[in-house]
Amino acid sequence: MVKFLLWLLLLVVCWPLALLALVLWPIVWLISLPFRLIGIAIEGVFTLLRTIVMLPARLLGWRPAASAT
């Protein structure tokens, strides 16, 4: 809702820029999509590596502290 209100404010202040943002936003989203997918894949690889490195400690009985994540 806040984004919409900010866009309306931009529409009142500078309508050509607001319309340009409205038209270009889907294009920017499509261009950034592959980078998001690469980021998800890299995060998965790092999680796998952390799990492999911590495996000996977990086999010996160490448990990670409870976290909110």
pLDDT in tens, 4-29: 999 899 889 998 998 998 899 999 99
The answer to the question of residue 36 being in a domain is yes
Residue 67 clears pLDDT 70, i.e. is over it: no
The answer to the question of residue 31 being in a domain is yes
The answer to the question of residue 42 being in a domain is yes
Residue 62 clears pLDDT 80, i.e. is over it: no
The domain in which residue 40 lies consists of 24-60
Kindly state the average pLDDT of the residues 56-60. 85
Q: In the chain, how many domains are there?
A: 1
pTM: 0.58
The answer to the question of residue 16 being in a domain is no
The answer to the question of residue 8 being in a domain is no
Q: What is the 3-state secondary structure (H, E, C) of the chain?
A: CHHHHHHHHHHHHCHHHHHHHHHHHHHHHHHHHHHHHHHHHHHHHHHHHHHHHHHHHHHCCCCCCCCCC
